[in-house]
Amino acid sequence: MSTLSVCVPAYNAARTLATTLRSILDQDADFELSVLDNASTDDTAAIARSVDDPRIRLHRNDTVLPIGDNWNKAVSVSSGDLVKVVCADDILLPGALKSQLELMGAGGIALCSAKFEVIDEAGAVEETDLGLPGLRGRQSMTTLMRTIVRRGPADFGPTAAAMFRRADFERAGGFRGDLVFPMDVDLFARVCEFGAFYGMPEVLAAWRNSSFNLCSRTSTVSKLAELVRFQHRLGREYPDAIHGADVLAGDLRVAGQALERVRVRAVATVRRRPDLLR
């Protein structure tokens, strides 16, 4: 029987960490919970230590590591055959681990992921039943890669919605932190070189839309530039799976997002509504 590690890389996550940990510890499954505090300056470590549960393993970096290195270390200090990475401001919904553990027991599946919902800073649901466009059920690496490039990583879903095998993670070389925003989906695409992808119809995770997460604190230009680099790199590395037309479709999608951002910024300026830029 496979063992499971749930890995939570945490940096200055005091506002949300307790909620995230509780959503994991309330799951009806056997697992270890590995929390890696990336040299936080707030109460992240104290909050993790305050949770009295034998399943928690708390680790701390002496200095702040880049996000890619930190996420790789969060996986490396855990021990399970199966791995799920949950950001310290996201949550798992009831039944998530049990459903995915049962599915990953099937042969030939390298990665499974579920649909997700978006919650606000207070935890209220903003949107639900999101993610995995055209990716329900068992899918090949080619279908997964083409869909990710054409539709974009955001349509795939958050890291917390996925579960993969440690052996495949290591064979793929782990997270590549040079491109931060598509970093998790980049790993998922490469992991599926070693087996099939399975898209689950259930909503099993929630991504927090907040003013304090990394996504909200990074410019749209930087995020869109990373997406272009990501899809071109994946196209170069897997030319048999991703065609030029797929990369072009991805580029056109990013261009459309950039134009929409310009439009929103113009409206916000004219109407003196900076809140529209969030």
Residues 154 and 187 in one domain: yes
Residues 32 and 170 in one domain: yes
Residues 146 and 43 in one domain: yes
Residues 166 and 84 in one domain: yes
Which ranges constitute the DSSP H helices of 63-182? Answer: 67-76, 96-104, 141-151, 153-156, 166-172
The pLDDT assigned to 269 comes to 66
The predicted-structure confidence for 211-244, as pLDDT tens digits, reads as follows: 766 655 557 788 899 999 999 999 999 999 999 9
| Domain total in the chain | 2
The pLDDT assigned to 256 comes to 87
The pLDDT assigned to 217 comes to 56
Which residues in the chain land under pLDDT 50?
A: none
Residues 203 and 273 in one domain: no
Residues 145 and 226 in one domain: no
The pLDDT assigned to 241 comes to 96
Residues 211 and 231 in one domain: no
| Exposure b/e, 177-215, CB count within 10 A at least 16 = b | bebbbbbbbbbbbbbbebbbbbbbeebbbbbbbbeebee
Residues 84 and 120 in one domain: yes
Residues 263 and 142 in one domain: no
Domain containing residue 52: 4-220
The pLDDT assigned to 260 comes to 79
Residues 127 and 180 in one domain: yes
Q: How far apart are the first and last CA of the chain?
A: 45
Residues 149 and 265 in one domain: no
Residues 107 and 204 in one domain: yes
The pLDDT assigned to 106 comes to 79
Where residue 66 sits, what CATH number does that domain have? 3.90.550.10
